[in-house]
A and B are shown apart, each in its own frame.
Chain A
């Protein structure tokens, strides 16, 4: 089954404790992206990757890191999480980065930073 898989689905942690949210897709997609979703603000892009070893900042990259060492994986790293990073996070992928390609989303990760 074609899918985007995120882990963990839920995480409660404390300020300053490094965490990684994994994202994996099995569709051989070139393009992957991370979003956060907050009430009233909609989906905002954090980082995206056009292909292996190619990453770029989205709208709200501060406080986040990403890497794309393999085509299927695109982890999101919070080196020193803070409460304002409490949010619902989605990973997405599409076959290419061209704007006529829809994106497929993972189930989401709900992060709470205390």
Chain B
């Protein structure tokens, strides 16, 4: 089983829609998680950290479900500029590193 798994998408949504992505992780000892955003052929950029209590930043909300070992990202009122690939990140098993999921592609359409 992969350490971090994501649905690759693409998720095609109209502007203004609400969209949610899930990501599952295998390392039950993981404490910290992140969502990164990556535009085509550009570097990944930190979108938000994911805390046990959840985290909200404007239109973006991240949640952690430890029992089922998944994290989620909710984007409200989607903008065209939200079109990107969203990478889920969890601590690696057995070494001081982060494991990145393969990403979920979001395409927001006018």
- Majority DSSP secondary structure for residues of B touching A: loop
- Cβ of B101: which chain A residues have Cβ within 8 Å of it? 42
Pairwise interchain contact A99-B31, C-beta atoms closer than 8 A: yes
Cα(A98)–Cα(B34), bound, Å: 13
The answer to whether A50 and B96 touch (CB under 8 A), given A42-B101, A102-B34, is yes
How many residue-residue contacts, CB under 8 A, span A and B?
57
Cα(A104)–Cα(B45), bound, Å: 7
Query: Which A residues, 31 to 71, have Cβ-Cβ distances below 8 Å to chain B?
Result: 31, 33, 35, 40-43, 45, 48, 50, 56, 58
Pairwise interchain contact A105-B97, C-beta atoms closer than 8 A: no
- Interface status of A73 (Cβ within 8 A of chain B): no
Pairwise interchain contact A42-B102, C-beta atoms closer than 8 A: yes
Cα(A55)–Cα(B99), bound, Å: 17
- Interface status of A108 (Cβ within 8 A of chain B): yes
Separation in Å of the A54 CB from the closest CB of chain B? 10
- Cβ of A99: which chain B residues have Cβ within 8 Å of it? 30-32, 91-92, 96, 98
Cα(A50)–Cα(B97), bound, Å: 10
- Cβ of A113: which chain B residues have Cβ within 8 Å of it? none
- Interface status of A88 (Cβ within 8 A of chain B): yes
Identify which of B12-20, B36-44, B62-70, B72-80 touches chain A. Answer: B36-44
- Cβ of A100: which chain B residues have Cβ within 8 Å of it? 31-32, 49
Q: Which residues of B are interface residues toward A (Cβ below 8 A)?
A: 8, 30-32, 34, 41-46, 49, 87, 91-92, 95-103
Known: A41-B102, A56-B95, A99-B32. 13 other contacts (CB 8 A): A31-B96, A40-B8, A42-B87, A45-B99, A97-B96, A99-B31, A99-B92, A100-B32, A102-B34, A105-B43, A105-B44, A105-B45, A106-B43
Q: Which residues of A are interface residues toward B (Cβ below 8 A)?
A: 31, 33, 35, 40-43, 45, 48, 50, 56, 58, 88, 90, 97-100, 102-108, 110
